[in-house]
Amino acid sequence: MNKKPIVIGYRHTGIITKNIKESLYFYHDILGLEIIQEFTDDSEYINKITGIENGIAHFIKLKATDGTVIELLEYPSHPTEPHELSILNVGVLHIALRVENAENAYQELKQKNIKTLSEPVLSSEGIAKVFFCIDPDGTRVELVEMI
């Protein structure tokens, strides 16, 4: 008996921000993602799916040229502080975005004072050049050039 899969595709990655304007600057102005939608939601829907009360969510959705979507979220009704956690902690995520040229991307980010964890490094499988940078909220962003 063939059971249908629960998951049929990838939709987007949501990143909770402390300051959505700073995160927008990083993802839009520095990384070059296109703003496709911005709105605020204080409806019963947002409160029900998040499990919060009297919540307000500010959303900005951005798209890469290949259609990949990043969703920035800020909860002005429920502000929180970012946590300093090692990449090795359970539950800590990173996002991986493709670039055309890892070395050029690295140099451009360094010129704009974006924190990086290393220079581009050839993957152990020899199929990609990879490095990480850090967004304004501490989310690790892996930049990958497939070779």
Asked whether 16 and 74 are in contact (CB, 8 A), the reply is: yes
Is the four-CA dihedral 84, 90, 95, 99 of positive or negative sign?
positive
CA angle 70, 97, 5 (to 5 degrees): 70
The pLDDT value recorded for residue 5 is 87
Q: Which residue has the tokens 């300051």?
A: 19
- Do 62 and 112 share a structural domain? no
pLDDT tier, 1 (very low <50, low <70, confident <90, very high otherwise): low
HEC string of the chain equals CCCCCCCCCCCCEEEECCCHHHHHHHHHHHCCCEEEEEEEECCHHHHHHHCCCCCCEEEEEEECCCCCEEEEEECCCCCCCCCCCCCCCCCCCEEEEECCCHHHHHHHHHHCCCCECCCCEECCCCCEEEEEEECCCCCEEEEEEEC
The pLDDT value recorded for residue 86 is 77
CATH code of the domain containing 141: 3.10.180.10
Q: pLDDT (tens digit, 9 = 90+) per residue, 130-143?
A: 999 999 998 999 99
The pLDDT value recorded for residue 99 is 96
- Do 67 and 17 share a structural domain? yes
Where in the sequence is the domain holding 34, given as residue range(s)? 13-74
The pLDDT value recorded for residue 3 is 86
pTM for the model stands at 0.87
Q: pLDDT (tens digit, 9 = 90+) per residue, 76-133?
A: 999 888 777 777 767 668 899 999 999 999 999 999 999 999 999 999 999 999 999 9
Better pLDDT: 6 or 62: 62
The tally of domains found in the chain comes to 2
The pair of three-digit structure tokens given for residue 105, joined into one six-digit string: 């991307």
Pairwise CA distance, residues 128 & 102, whole Å:
9
- Do 100 and 52 share a structural domain? no
The pLDDT value recorded for residue 67 is 94
The pLDDT value recorded for residue 84 is 79
The pLDDT value recorded for residue 91 is 64
Q: pLDDT (tens digit, 9 = 90+) per residue, 85-98?
A: 777 767 668 899 99
